[in-house]
Amino acid sequence: MFQETFAAELATHVGSRVEVATDNNLVDGILSTVTPNLVLVIEVNSGYGYGENTTLYLSVDAINFVRFPVAA
């Protein structure tokens, strides 16, 4: 049901809405790319105005948890 590793499981959710928590940040966006060491998230809620989709690279090692919110 679930992949054996965290990165492999994340890779099955590419294109999904995610909330990624690191020690000091919570990134809300669309999961774009997953490699064994890096996660690319297109942030949709940066709070800096319209049309400002920021691309963020997160180290897999820095991630505390990833939440996949259910659609409202």
Segment near other proteins (CB under 8 A); pick from 27-35, 36-44, 45-53, 64-72:
64-72
Instruction: Give the count of beta carbons closer than 10 Å to the beta carbon of residue 31.
Output: 21
Q: Does 1 bind other proteins (CB under 8 A)?
A: yes
24 DSSP assignment: S
Minimum distance from residue 47 beta carbon to other proteins (Å): 19
Interaction between residue 57 and other proteins (CB under 8 A): no
Rounded CA separation 34/60 (Å): 9
Select the residue interacting with other proteins from 5, 35, 54, 59 (CB under 8 A).
5
Nearest residue to 67 (alpha-carbon basis) of 25, 32, 16 = 16
